[in-house]
Amino acid sequence: MLAVMLADIGARARLAARTLAETTSAQKNAALEAMAARLEKSSRAILSANAGDLERASTEGIGGALIDRLRLDERRVAGMAGGLRKVAALPDPVGVMTGGWRLPNGIQLQRVRVPLGVVAVIYEARPNVTADAAGLCLKSGNAAILRGSSYALHSNQAIGEALRDGLAEVGLPMEAVQVMEDTSREGARQLMQAKEWVDLLVPRGGPRLIASIEAEATVPYVIDGAGNCHVYVDAAADLDKALPIVLNAKVQRPGVCNAAETLLVHEQVAAKFLPQAAAELGEAGVALRGDSLARELVPAMGEATEDDWATEFLDLVLAVRVVSNLEEALEHIRRYGTGHTEAIVTEDRAAADRFVAATDSAVVVVNASTRFTDGEEFGFGAEIGISTQKLHVRGPMGLEALTTERYVLYGDGQVRAG
Amino acid sequence: MLAVMLADIGARARLAARTLAETTSAQKNAALEAMAARLEKSSRAILSANAGDLERASTEGIGGALIDRLRLDERRVAGMAGGLRKVAALPDPVGVMTGGWRLPNGIQLQRVRVPLGVVAVIYEARPNVTADAAGLCLKSGNAAILRGSSYALHSNQAIGEALRDGLAEVGLPMEAVQVMEDTSREGARQLMQAKEWVDLLVPRGGPRLIASIEAEATVPYVIDGAGNCHVYVDAAADLDKALPIVLNAKVQRPGVCNAAETLLVHEQVAAKFLPQAAAELGEAGVALRGDSLARELVPAMGEATEDDWATEFLDLVLAVRVVSNLEEALEHIRRYGTGHTEAIVTEDRAAADRFVAATDSAVVVVNASTRFTDGEEFGFGAEIGISTQKLHVRGPMGLEALTTERYVLYGDGQVRAG
C-alpha cells in the first residue's frame, strides 16, 4: 500500500523532472521568485499549521531544542522566502559545458552539466528545510521528494502548498515539489530503496539518520557525516595566531560539524601555549579533557578517556593532547578523525606541506579556523551540506552537487574502424 | 576467519595507499616500467600457472568462451606489459589543481585531485585484468585489492607476483597490489561490504556480478551497466550516412556494451531505408526482429516481442521499430533504454537538439556510430569501464574516475566572524 503510494509519487516526480531538465534558467528563476512571494502571502496559514504541529509536539513531551527548530515565526518565513530569492540569483549549474574537444576523426565532443533527475531529501523537524531543499533542487533542474519529520508534517505541507502554487503560477509542474504525507519509518525505508525513482538521496539530520541511511539505503546518496575536527599547534606555530584560531574553532559555534573537537599541541610549545589557551577557553565556558602531559601543564583539566578522542562533542568540550612531533599528530588524526576538516598552525612551510600531504580529509586548513569549511564561505552561495564521502562530491556541496555530466557527440557520418 | 584475513589485506592496503598518495609521478612510472619488465621476464612462470588453470577448468567442463578469455600466451603477456607501459605514459591525474580562488578574507583556497585510497576490483576469468587494473590503480595513487575468478587464481597469482616484484624493485610497497587468494562467493560478499578498507569497488563482469553488487555492496562502487543502445533514423536523415552508422553500430563488434540493439526508423523514410538496411544487415549475418510496420516493409523479418525491446542481445540480432515521429522514438528510448548511448541520424538541427535535450543517457550521438562511447576513442588513453550511473562519473571512465578532490586552505590567522 505504502509502496504503491511511493510509486505514484516517484512516477509524478520522474515526469516533472523531464520538464525541468528542459526548463530555462529564466523560467526557473521566475518560479523561485513566485514561490518566495507565495510563502510570504501564505504566512498566516503556514504559522497556523505550525502552531498545530507545536501543540502536538508539546503534548507528546518533546524537548526544547527540537521545539525551537520546529517553531516558525514571521521572521523565519521571511527567511525562507529570502533564501529562495538568493538561490534565484545564483548562476544556473545546468547546461554549463565542462569540457569539449574534437576527436581525431572530426567528431565534436562536448561534456555538459545536466540535472540528476529526482532528488529525495529526508530531514528532521526543521520546516525551513522544505523551502531550502525545494529551491536548490528546482534551480538545479531536479524534481524534489521531501520527507520531513512527522512532528513538522502540517508545517511542511503548508509550505509545500505555497511552493507548488508558485510553480503553477509560472506554468511549471507542481509535481516538481512533493511533500510526503507518509512520515513513518517504513516510508523512509522505502524511499531509501526506491532505485527506480530516486537519483540522489540527501539526508539532512543527525547520526541516527546517517546510520540508518548507511545500513538501509540502496539508492545513491551523499552523506553529511560527522566532523571530529582537529587543530594541531605545531612547534613552529605563531602562538598569537594559534590562540584565536583554537578559540574560534571551538567556541564560535560549538554545535556544528566544522567546530574543533580535539586540540593537539607540540610538546615544544605546550608549556607556553596550553596554560594561556586553557585560561581563555575556560573563560569562554569550555571544559577541557586532557592526556597526562596536558594535565601536568594545566592540572585543573579533566582526564580524557579513549572515547573522548573519538567523540564529536558538538558542545563546549575540547579534548587536548600533547604530541612529541608532527607525525604523532598525524597518527592521532588518522586514528580518530572522520575525514572532515583538520587545521595546522605553523610558520614552517615544510611542516604545513607534510600535514597537507599526509592528511586525508575533505578540507585541510593551514593557519586558519576549521570553521571555514562551509559552502557560503567557499563562495558557493548556497550549501546543501558538507560531504565526508569521497565519491561524487567531497566537502561543502553547492548546486553542482545536484547535477551530473554527460557527453554529446556531433558527427557527420563517422563510423568506428577498430 | 575469512573476515580476519580480509581485515589483514585491508589494513595492508590502507598502509600502502598512504605511501602511494605521496609518491611522485616519476616513481609511479618507474614502477609501471619495472612491473612490465617483470611480467615479460616471468612469462614462462605465468604461462605455466595458466596451463594449470586451463586444465582444472577443462576438467570441470568449462565452455569455450570462458576458456578463451582465461587462456594466456606470449602475445597476451606482452599485451599486459605493453598496457602498463602505456599507462606509464599517461598524465598523472593526482595533484592536478582543479580550481583555486582567494576568499574575501584573504584565505587562498585550492581544490586538488587526490587518490581515493584503496580500490577493489572484482572480475571474472580474464587474467589480463590483474595487470590492467593494478596499473590503473597504481598510476592514480591507489592501492589495489584484486579479486578474480577462482578459475584464474594461479594465473592471477603468478601475474601478481611479477607486479609486486616490480614494485619492490623501485622501493614501493608490494602491498600496493594484492591478489586475493580467497575466491569464494562469501569472500566477494565480504569485500563488497568492507567499508573500513575499500574506498571504491569496481566490478568488471557480466549482469550477474552487477546484480550481486547492487544487492549486496555497501562500499561505494561504480558500475559498468548494460548498454541497450538505440539508433534513431529521423525523417530528415541522410540515408547515405544512416546505413553505414547502423551497420557499424550493430556489426562491428556486436558483443560489447556500445553496440546498438534497437533500430528506430521514422515512417517517412522507412519504406526507402528499411529494405536496403535489411539487405545489408542480413548480408552481415544480422537477424532482425521487427514490429508490424517494419515487417510489412521487410516481410522476411522475424517478429519482435516485448522482451526484445528490453534486451541487450550482445549478438548479431537487431530489434527494429517504425515510429511515427521523433517523440515516439524518445518515448521508446525512455521506456526501454539503459541510459548508456543513443544515436540520432538527422540533417535537421532542431530534431537533433530535441533528441539531445530529451534523452537522459550518458552519451548522446548525432550522426555517428554508438561505438564511439569508449575511453580510448574519447582520448582518455585508458578505460576502467563505462559508467551508467549518474553519481561520481558517467560514461567512459579514465584515470580521473579513480581519484577524488579535496580542498586546501592557506590562511594567515583568519577566524570566522559569523
Chain B residues 366-385 with a CB less than 8 Å from chain A: 366-369, 371-373, 377-379
Chain B residues 182-221 with a CB less than 8 Å from chain A: 195, 199-200, 214, 218, 220
- Grid cell in block for residue B247: 551497420
CB atoms A392 and B391 under 8 Å: yes
Question: Model confidence at A2, in pLDDT bands (50, 70, 90)?
Answer: low
ipTM greater than cut 0.85: yes
Grouping H, G, I as helix, E, B as strand and the rest as coil, residue B183 is coil
Residue ranges of alpha helices (H) inside A60-127 are 64-70, 74-89
Tell me the C-alpha distance between A37 and A107, whole Å.
47
Residue ranges of alpha helices (H) inside A140-289 are 153-169, 185-192, 207-216, 239-251, 267-283
How distant is the Cα of B33 from the closest Cα of chain A, in angstroms? Answer: 25
pTM of the model: 0.93
Those residues whose C-beta lies under 8 Å from the C-beta of residue B418, and which sit 6 or more positions away, are: none
Those residues whose C-beta lies under 8 Å from the C-beta of residue A156, and which sit 6 or more positions away, are: A127, A130, A146, A148, A179
Residues of A within 8 A of B366 (CB-CB) are 408-411
Cβ of A49 under 8 Å from any chain B Cβ?
A: no
**Cell numbers 561534456: residue:** A111
Q: What digits encode the pLDDT tens for the residues A52-74? A: 999 999 998 887 788 989 999 99
Cβ of A307 under 8 Å from any chain B Cβ?
A: no
- pLDDT averaged over consecutive 10-residue blocks of chain B (418 residues)? 78 97 97 98 98 94 85 96 96 96 97 97 94 97 97 98 98 98 94 95 88 91 92 98 98 94 98 98 98 97 97 96 98 96 98 96 98 94 89 94 97 94
CB atoms A358 and B18 under 8 Å: yes
Q: Which of B345, B408, B412 to mutate to test the interface with A (most CBs of A within 10 A)?
A: B408
Rounded to an integer, the average pLDDT of A358-377 is: 96
Cβ of A316 under 8 Å from any chain B Cβ?
A: no
- Grid cell in block for residue A187: 516510508
Q: What digits encode the pLDDT tens for the residues A306-351? A: 999 999 999 999 999 999 999 999 999 999 999 999 999 999 999 9
Q: What residues pair up with B397 in beta bridges, in sequence order?
A: B385
CB atoms B372 and A214 under 8 Å: no
- How high is the pLDDT of residue A1? 45
Residue ranges of alpha helices (H) inside B292-401 are 292-297, 306-309, 326-336, 349-358, 375-378
- How high is the pLDDT of residue B3? 57
Rounded to an integer, the average pLDDT of A75-82 is: 96
pLDDT reading at A121 higher than 70: yes
Strand boundaries in B173-218, DSSP class E: 177-179, 200-204
- Grid cell in block for residue A406: 554527460
B407, containing H or E segment: strand B403-414
Burial A132-160 (b: 16+ CB within 10 A, else e): bbbbbbbbbbbbbbbbbbbbbbbbbbbbb
Q: How many residues does chain B have?
A: 418
**CA separation, residue B140 to residues A236, B47, B384 (Å):** 33, 29, 12
Minimum CA–CA partner of B418 in chain A: A252
CB atoms A378 and B407 under 8 Å: yes
| Average pLDDT across chain A, whole number | 95
pLDDT reading at A3 higher than 80: no
Smallest Cβ–Cβ distance between B363 and the set A238, A396, A406 belongs to A406
State the maximum Cα–Cα separation within chain B, in Å, rounded to a whole number. 80
Burial B98-133 (b: 16+ CB within 10 A, else e): eeeeebeeebebbbbbbbbbbbbbbbbbbbbbbbbb
How distant is the Cα of B158 from the closest Cα of chain A, in angstroms? Answer: 31
- How high is the pLDDT of residue B1? 45
Q: Which of A20, A360, A383, A388 to mutate to test the interface with B (most CBs of B within 10 A)?
A: A360
